[in-house]
Amino acid sequence: MPIKTWELDPNFKNEILNEQGGEHLTACYQCSTCTLGCPITELVPSYNPRKIIQMSLLGMRTEVLSNPDLWICAICQTCTARCPQNVVVGDVLAVIRRLAEKAEEAGEIKIESPRPLFETAFLHTVEKYGRLYDIGLAMEYYPKREGSFVAGQKAMMNDYMGFGMRMFLKGKMGPLGGHGLFKGLLASKIKQRDVMEKIFKWVEEKEK
Ligand code: SF4
Ligand code: SF4
């Protein structure tokens, strides 16, 4: 892809540097150790965290923020552990994903991945119940991903019939989630949910 210098945003690296987790971006000397150790590159050979960092340093803001590869990172932190420059690559990628979500809210880009919807639904269940509630997550995620309640239910059943049924046959979950036949249908809540509410409020304040 040819680089058009007049389209580069030299301030993009500062956006990352100013966020918690992105402080060490400029220490990268492009050795590629992060990419060589990344388990996702074995599944998706084109995935390249080193390249995402290089493009960020160059100021290729739109290309980086709209790159669908950002959303296939498994957050395993192998890259972070192996980076000789302590770039904290996994956190840098998390910062870039947060910036991508803000850019989408501002109408600057379109994120071509359902993962932000999944992560939001996941956090909503944790905020509400203090732990993961599979049914609650699925009931929020699938309709949003598919664009309607009916299409969401259909997609959910299709997914369940594959992966979910295999887990059920191994005794890992009931047809409605959780362990046992019906356990998991209702949300199981932790006792001190007020503590969870405080944590979420604290994070909200920090993000303002
Ligand atoms: S391992 Fe660290 S220094 Fe090497 S390319 Fe990756 S981020 Fe840059
Ligand atoms: S954190 Fe993401 S980029 Fe780093 S090694 Fe794991 S999957 Fe790859």
Same domain, 51 and 80: yes
When pLDDT is cut at 50, 70 and 90, the band that residue 179 belongs to is low
CA–CA separation, 42 and 115 (whole Å): 20
- What is the model's pLDDT at position 174? 59
Q: Is 115 within 8 Å of 69 (Cβ atoms)?
A: no
- What is the model's pLDDT at position 7? 84
| Residue 46 alpha carbon to ligand 2 centre in Å | 13
User: Structure tokens of 142?
Assistant: 């699938």
54 lies in some domain = yes
pLDDT, one tens digit per residue, over 57-95 is 999 999 999 999 999 999 999 999 999 999 999 999 999
Same domain, 90 and 150: no
79 CB less than 6 Å from ligand 2?
yes
- Number of separate domains in the chain: 2
CA–CA separation, 73 and 147 (whole Å): 25
Same domain, 97 and 124: no
When pLDDT is cut at 50, 70 and 90, the band that residue 184 belongs to is low
Q: Identify the residues whose C-beta falls under 6 Å from ligand 1.
A: 28-34, 50, 53, 83, 85, 87, 89
What's 50's domain CATH number?
1.10.1060.10
196 lies in some domain = yes
Through-space distance between the first and last CA atoms of the chain, rounded to whole angstroms: 36
Residue written as token pair 């998706």: 44
Tell me the whole-structure pTM to 2 decimals. Answer: 0.84
Nearest to 101 by CA among 66, 75, 125: 66
When pLDDT is cut at 50, 70 and 90, the band that residue 162 belongs to is confident
Range of the domain at 125: 115-207
pLDDT, one tens digit per residue, over 10-43 is 999 999 999 999 999 999 999 999 999 999 999 9
- What is the model's pLDDT at position 37? 94
CA–CA separation, 161 and 164 (whole Å): 6
Same domain, 57 and 140: no
Testing ligand 2's pocket by substitution, the residue of 75, 86, 95 carrying the most ligand atoms inside 8 A of its CB is: 75
Same domain, 192 and 142: yes
User: Structure tokens of 17?
Assistant: 């540097």
Same domain, 159 and 125: yes
CA–CA separation, 79 and 27 (whole Å): 14
- What is the model's pLDDT at position 19? 93
150 lies in some domain = yes
Other C-beta atoms closer than 10 Å to the C-beta of 76 total 13
38 CB less than 6 Å from ligand 2?
yes
pLDDT of 173 above 80: no
31 lies in some domain = yes
Considering the chain, what percentage of its residues have pLDDT values greater than 70? 92
pLDDT of 181 above 70: no
129 lies in some domain = yes
Atom of ligand 2 lying closest to residue 90 CA: 1
User: Structure tokens of 86?
Assistant: 């302590």
Same domain, 47 and 81: yes
What mean pLDDT do residues 201-205 have? 89
Same domain, 41 and 92: yes
Mean pLDDT of the chain: 89
> What angle, rounded to 10 degrees, do the helices at 89-105 and 115-129 form?
100
CA–CA separation, 202 and 200 (whole Å): 5
Q: Is 64 within 8 Å of 18 (Cβ atoms)?
A: no
When pLDDT is cut at 50, 70 and 90, the band that residue 185 belongs to is low
Considering the chain, what percentage of its residues have pLDDT values greater than 90? 68
Kindly identify the ligand whose nearest atom is closest to the C-alpha of 91: 2
Same domain, 71 and 10: yes
pLDDT of 106 above 90: yes
pLDDT of 5 above 70: yes
110 lies in some domain = no
- What is the model's pLDDT at position 2? 73
Testing ligand 2's pocket by substitution, the residue of 32, 50, 89 carrying the most ligand atoms inside 8 A of its CB is: 89
Same domain, 158 and 124: yes
When pLDDT is cut at 50, 70 and 90, the band that residue 176 belongs to is low
Where do the H-state alpha helices sit in 110-173? 115-129, 134-146, 149-159, 165-169
- Of 56, 80, 105, the domain-final residue: 105
- Of 48, 70, 105, the domain-final residue: 105
Same domain, 67 and 42: yes
- What is the model's pLDDT at position 192? 86
Same domain, 43 and 124: no
Kindly identify the ligand whose nearest atom is closest to the C-alpha of 53: 1
96 CB less than 6 Å from ligand 2?
no
